[in-house]
Amino acid sequence: MTTAHYDVIIIGGGINGAATASAVAARGYRTLVLEQDDFASGTTSASTKLIHGGLRYLETGDARLVHESLQSREQLLRERSHLVRPMGFILPVYQGDPRPPWYIRSGLALYDLLSPRKVSPWHSSFSRRELQRFEPSISTDRLRAAYLYYDAQVWSPERLTLEYLAEARASGADLRNHAAVDYIIVDGGRARGVDFHDVLTGRRSTASGRLVINAAGPWVDAVLDATGRSLRKRVGGTRGSHLVLDLEGRGPKHAVLASAQSDGRPMFVTPWLDHHIIGTTDVRDDGDPSDVRAAGWEIDYLIAEAARVLPGLGIEHRNALYAYSGVRPLARAGEGVFEGAISRRSFLVDHESEGVERLLSIVGGKLTTAAALGAKVGSEVAQLIGRPRARGIAALPEVPAGRAVFLPPETQEHLRMVYGHRAPQVAAYAASDSEMAKPISRHHRDIGAQVLYAVAHEHARTVADVLLRRTIVGLTRDLGRSAAAPTAAIMANRLGWSDEVRDQAVRDYFAELHRSYVVLNPDAPAEPVSAMPRAVESE
């Protein structure tokens, strides 16, 4: 068993662990990130994908959270424009809705005021006729008012996470996925390191660190248990489920935020690439976050509410490709607290008062604010352990770009959308092997070079790592069915897999797809409606 030495060990490679790694490594700390599954495979892959201030947090009086989130939104729109795009939201108000038009209008005005230097326009309102022209799919039956406001969408939270990790890696961080922490070594009342194992090879290792950061999202309490002490429980998760619809080009061009008719909760329908996402539910969930799945009633509820607000589209179960669910890692609230009222703020917990120094836990947080949170954690690290002992580990060289490569314009555009300024580095893999310039499936623009880049530079080790998180091939159209075998073949070539290992890798992909998502067979109806929990709030 080997022991490596670090300044900071981060447990969890979701968006918060990744953004923290980027900030901490940039300060020169020797940083190790350990992720038990794949980077961004936890809650980060299960969100509504909004980069927003959170209009509804104004209702809980959390104007500071909204203001900070809106600042983060503007920064992401400026700095990561290939991943984060402005999105117009139509907000119809119907007779019987829980919030009257004047209330919505005041909220939107405040929302605009809290983001004074924003790039997108201020909110506006529609007459019934204007709404019918602007977005004909939205119901105008019993309409009292309709508004348009702007937020943003990150089309791939997984890729945003990978960007933070790429920055951490460029600053010398050591990144390990499929590496589960089994034990946090506490000696003399101080966290000193971790024991972990590689889930794919079984290899066990130990790492020592001057500070351990628990960024395990909904697994925060399970990681605290790995100290072998009884530390206070910090997370009280709620499950949120979404459906991805294929409306074959007929869906609304703008996002819609409406109040659900059955329980008054806010509900989003958002255009996402060629599809639409409907979400979300909000149900207390104390189960294992690794096993979270949408219940039949959640699927029925989302379909019914989307069909009501978009009546002309005839939305039915057969339009749903799959359902995905995640557990919000919210701060533990007392029993009887309304799910929607639990704060979406993030907290940094120092466990010194519980008898373990040099152990911090990140609780809560949003995709939107991960970078700001990471910067805050970076300052805390400096307070706790002082300056870095030595410069970080040497960064791996980036692939040289710049070799002229012929790729069709739509492929070049696709690579720019996925990789931003790193696109030429990906394209370089197609220059050295023209086979790698070809798409990995007839349903997608993604090419073989992306598989090679994912393996060489983005730590992809399984077919699911490539199709579900390095690209969105597995999340769209045929859910990667046609791309799994070609992807495995490219990986086999690069990694020296035998034919048996390659074929197993394809089967493992399908197993993970069906384990992580409720894949909805277009020919079979979803589970029947079961008893629905009481009304709850959404994002």
Assess 360 for contact with ligand FAD (CB under 6 A): no
Q: Could you tell me the smallest distance in angstroms from the CB atom of residue 261 to ligand FAD?
A: 20
Q: Parallel, antiparallel, or unpaired for β 179-187 and 174-176?
A: unpaired
Q: Determine if 15 is a binding residue for ligand FAD (CB under 6 A).
A: yes
Residue 209 contacts ligand FAD per CB under 6 A: no
Q: Between 370-385 and 63-79, two packed helices, what is the crossing angle to 10 degrees?
A: 100
Can you state the angle between helices 423-432 and 409-419, rounded to 10 degrees?
130
Options 80-88, 247-255, 321-329, 527-535: segment touching ligand FAD (CB under 6 A): 321-329
Q: Which of 223, 303, 405, 423 binds ligand FAD (CB under 6 A)?
A: 223
Nearest-approach distance from CB 455 to ligand FAD, in angstroms: 20
Joined tokens for residue 235: 């997370």
Site membership for ligand FAD, residue 378 (CB under 6 A): no
Residue 107, φ and ψ in degrees, nearest 5 = -60, -45
Told to check if 236 binds ligand FAD by CB under 6 A, we report no
Instruction: Build a one-symbol-per-residue string for 274-303: x at contacts with ligand FAD by CB under 6 A, - elsewhere.
Output: ------x-----------------------
Please provide the DSSP assignment of 172-223 as one string: T-EEESSEEEEEEEEETTEEEEEEEEETTT--EEEEEEEEEEE--GGGHHHH
Which CB sits closer to ligand FAD, 47 or 471? 47
Backbone torsions φ then ψ of 368, nearest 5 degrees:
-60, -40
The least CB distance from residue 226 to ligand FAD, in Å, is 6
Q: Is 17 in the site for ligand FAD (CB under 6 A)?
A: yes
Interface with ligand FAD in residues 27-66 (CB under 6 A): 34-37, 41-44, 46-50
Task: Work out whether the CA dihedral 60, 66, 69, 73 comes out positive or negative.
Answer: positive
**Residue in 184, 216, 306, 360 binding ligand FAD, rule: CB under 6 A:** 216
The Cα diameter of the chain in Å comes to 71
Name the H helices within 339-408.
370-385
Contact 263, 302 (CB under 8 A): no
Report residue 421 CA to chain centroid gap.
21
Taking contact as CB under 6 A, which single stretch among the options 80-88, 201-209, 256-264, 323-331 is the one that binds ligand FAD? 323-331
Give the integer Cα–Cα distance in Å for 322 and 306. 15
**Rounded CA gap, 112 and 164, in Å?**
28
End-to-end CA distance of the chain: 44
Judged by CB under 6 A, how many residues of this single chain contact ligand FAD? 39
Binding region for ligand FAD (CB under 6 A) out of 123-131, 324-332, 421-429, 493-501: 324-332
Q: Which amino acid is at 416?
A: R
The reply to whether 323 sits near ligand FAD by the rule CB under 6 A is no
Q: Please report how close the Cβ of residue 499 comes to ligand FAD at its closest, in angstroms.
A: 31
Q: In terms of CB distance, is 49 or 123 closer to ligand FAD?
A: 49
Q: Does 181 bind ligand FAD (CB under 6 A)?
A: yes
- Tell me how far, at minimum, the Cβ of 69 lies from ligand FAD, in Å: 8
Of the two residues 13 and 107, which places its CB atom closer to ligand FAD in the complex? Answer: 13
* Minimum distance from residue 44 beta carbon to ligand FAD (Å): 3
Place of tokens 């101080």: 190
Does residue 164 belong to the site contacting ligand FAD (CB under 6 A)? no
Residue 367 as a binder of ligand FAD (CB under 6 A): the answer is: yes
Q: Which helix (H) or strand (E) holds 224?
A: helix 220-225
Asked whether 149 and 91 are in contact (CB, 8 A), the reply is yes
Question: Least distance to ligand FAD from the beta carbon of 204, Å?
Answer: 13
Token digits for 274? Answer: 């060629």
For the bound state, the minimum distance from the C-beta of residue 471 to ligand FAD, rounded and expressed in Å, comes to 18
Nearer to ligand FAD, 11 or 25 (CB): 11
Counted residue by residue, the chain has a size of 539
Query: Between β-strands 190-198 and 179-187, what pairing exists: parallel, antiparallel or unpaired?
Result: antiparallel
Yes or no: say if 310 and 269 are a contact pair by the CB < 8 Å rule. Answer: yes
* Binding of ligand FAD by 425 (CB under 6 A): no
Cβ proximity to ligand FAD: between 234 and 328 the closer is: 328
Q: Which of 4, 10, 25, 17 is nearest to 382 (CA)?
A: 25
C-beta separation of 328 from 218 below 8 A: yes
Among 7, 174, 300, 539, binds ligand FAD (CB under 6 A): 539
Segment near ligand FAD (CB under 6 A), from 7-15, 121-129, 449-457, 468-476? 7-15
Is residue 13 a contact partner of residue 178, using CB atoms and an 8 Å limit?
A: no
Which residues are at the interface with ligand FAD (CB under 6 A)? 11-17, 34-37, 41-44, 46-50, 180-181, 215-219, 223, 240, 280, 326-329, 365-368, 539
